[in-house]
Structure 1
């Protein structure tokens, strides 16, 4: 358990921004209404409205420009890729500009590609921005005390998350050890397979020891447990959740008012 306590997850340190005073559960739940709204329609207006709201609220997130771009880089890579897929294989409509086999670029596929790319950004960016400073322990406290999830599940998930950093350290140490023995200079696929098998065995052993240690300390008991830190909701949480609801309403209203609302379940 000492290794568990020493392991740290890469989390952006909280600042004095207002959003960082909210509960971790609130930051987890705030993007849900907006996500549901964006999943119900496929149009560029709703997604663009959500991105505009995110841009206006970014100064209150407490993130520097470097932190924002580094942490959201995978989203900016994934969004264009999803757009390219829809551009080539989306629903053909209107003028066809290029065609090769099953791939076809038309007015309809271009519109769907733009809407898909913006929708991916509008769904993923708020979640990343809000969740980037959440401490796993704070989240576990909130899940167990506020959402009333089973303590065994919450603490097991927390232990697994805390072990990620240790897993990465073990991988690097194993790689250096194999290089020192001269068995990792050739055959990258074979080397990766061997290291993956070794890490699987090590993870199973460490997981078994951790589970035994946690059971011995009463983490798996049926008696209602106490918590070292109380997790509670306040006015800041209500305001943040209200902002999320208002943004969702604004997205729907703007899309319907402009005639671009495209209900995909109709």
Structure 2
């Protein structure tokens, strides 16, 4: 009985030491990975890296990690010099293969997501315009609501209005724009139809103002976004990838 008790104590002791060593190794690996991802992907700040699965050391010995989660900050989008923040940028990488020197890592599959809030999206909109949620029916069609005082929008666009027509621009302006993504890094807003304007000849000029592109800058190659969903708090991007390199 005494020998059994000693054996159990040793098992618990060595088990605790193994867990401690395993967690220390995970922390070191996460720190090193964050540094390499920042450098290789050109990020402005280090991402948060979380290695999933236990035990970690046995995964390393096998040269493959089950799953890695990455969350990033410092991603921005710009439209004609107006800069806004892209938030909730995340990537989930699975079946990550590392080489014998741990200098490179490639994920067999990846899922990425990001969000631009309507408040931030409005910062990129033409002066005088506000971008907002268009309701579930229009959101299902990929549309957002663009609105604002017509006079402010025309003035912000630098459109000269004859004095005789300025009094006609007191109403609010509302249209619905379809959102799409081009080349994996450019968000396009295109008005489907403009309301009748009280000033002759302004329809086309105003559409040129309302239609604009938003370029996402600094999105790492580990997040390849190609789908946009209109949710109540903003535009959510998502996408998948295969054979994604974490270090180059």
Settle same-fold status: TM greater than 0.5: no
Give the TM-score of the pair, scaled to structure 2: 0.22
Give the TM-score of the pair, scaled to structure 1: 0.21
Q: Which protein has greater RCO, CA pairs closer than 8 Å, 6+ apart?
A: 1
